[in-house]
Amino acid sequence: MLTTENPWHVHLGDCIEHMAALPPAVFDMAAFSPPFPKLYAYTSSDRDIGNSEDLKGDAKLHLSFFYRQLVRVMKPGRVVMVHVAQIPRMKRSGGTGLFDYRGMNIRLGERAGLVFEYDWSVRKNPQAQAIRTRSRSLQFAGLENDRAASRGSLPDYLLKFIVPGENAVPIDSDGEVSRNDWIEWAEGCWGDIRENDTLKGDKGKEEARGEGDTQHICPLQLSVIDRLIRLYSNPGELVFSPFAGIGSEGYVAIKRRRRFYGCELKPEYHAAACRNLNTAERVAKVGVQGTLPFDDFDDSPVPLATVPVEPTPLPESEEPKKPTGRKRKAVKP
Ligand SMILES: C[S@@+](CC[C@H](N)C(=O)[O-])C[C@H]1O[C@@H](n2cnc3c(N)ncnc32)[C@H](O)[C@@H]1O
């Protein structure tokens, strides 16, 4: 729990269940990357949204519950930043083209009551992406074979949502965002983000690999998080990442003297996040003071049956539903 001595907490467990047990309107800002279904599998748990085989079925259903809970725990008038990318359909399972994961998150967020306001794109290096993903659409071989299949690199998107209602405390703290910062950051595409500016080594992903179940984690660039936190929170406020991973959002939040609350399903990532947050506290040196508005809250897992939400009705079901709760092995894109 967050206390005056401890400015952060990461809950080990399913964020959807956990948010349902939190009081309403407790977080000042949220910044996170939802799991990328089909592309990255993080654990073998059927609560892991990364395990959803069926993007328009399971993944959509999980995320619709997720956004409903998120709106409830956020303070009115405050900002939710969601980091997503489009998902290439796997050739080996007969797919072609891209799945519009960006659009699905916007629609589900809006259906849950959030207001979609903007999105930044973050440049990705085409050569590095061609090598990493082995995508023929990007490689010279594809270009020279038949240009009909060629396309550019896939950028990241930072979706900005606002929680409906009046913002009780303006985000106006001094010294966080200068006019010169804003001249750069107001560009619709952030082209200056180093792709390897992520938590790594001691603080990073290698040590967080579980046995057999995890091939990848995709940590968010620290410089992206830094901009978002400085733009959309005041020092001392409470930042939330429901998919905390190895703790990148929390690491920056603490370094920037905010408080942090996270959830993470996978024990190895949870342990890495806690180590990274301890490091951030040491780096920040000055402790962040303040208690949670729910510090007598019971942190034990809540059974799914007690979650008091209605699922968002799914619209058109273009594909027949596959059985839910299927476990699959982690795969490389
Ligand atoms: C894209 S990663 C987040 C990485 C994080 N932004 C970072 O930089 O460290 C998504 C994370 O969500 C976790 N996850 C998947 N389903 C979850 C759930 N239902 N509740 C909580 N965490 C979940 C995965 O284990 C994974 O660590």
Q: What is the CATH number of the domain that holds 110?
A: 3.40.50.150
249 falls within a domain = yes
Who wins on pLDDT, 289 or 194? 194
The answer to whether the CB of 58 is under 6 A from ligand 1 is no
Distance separating alpha carbons of residues 286 and 288, to the nearest angstrom: 6
Mutate to test the pocket of ligand 1, among 67, 73, 264 (most ligand atoms within 8 A of CB): 264
Question: How many structural domains are present in the chain?
Answer: 1
Q: For residue 17, give the nearest of 311, 325, 301 by alpha carbon.
A: 301
Instruction: List the alpha helices (DSSP H) in the chain.
Output: 15-20, 60-73, 101-111, 126-133, 140-145, 179-185, 222-232, 248-255, 267-284
The answer to whether the CB of 15 is under 6 A from ligand 1 is yes
pTM of structure = 0.83
317 falls within a domain = no
Counting from 1 in the atom list of ligand 1, the atom nearest the Cα of 40 is 1
**Confidence check: pLDDT of 172 > 80:** yes
Ligand 1 centroid–CA 119 distance in Å is 21
Ligand 1 centroid–CA 50 distance in Å is 8
Helix-helix angle 248-255:222-232, to 10 degrees: 50
Q: Give pLDDT tens digits for 112-168.
A: 999 999 999 999 999 999 998 888 899 999 899 999 989 999 999 999 999 999 999
312 falls within a domain = no
Report the range of poorest mean pLDDT among 1-5, 75-79, 247-251: 1-5
2 falls within a domain = no
Domain span at 231: 8-306
299 falls within a domain = yes
332 falls within a domain = no
The answer to whether the CB of 268 is under 6 A from ligand 1 is no
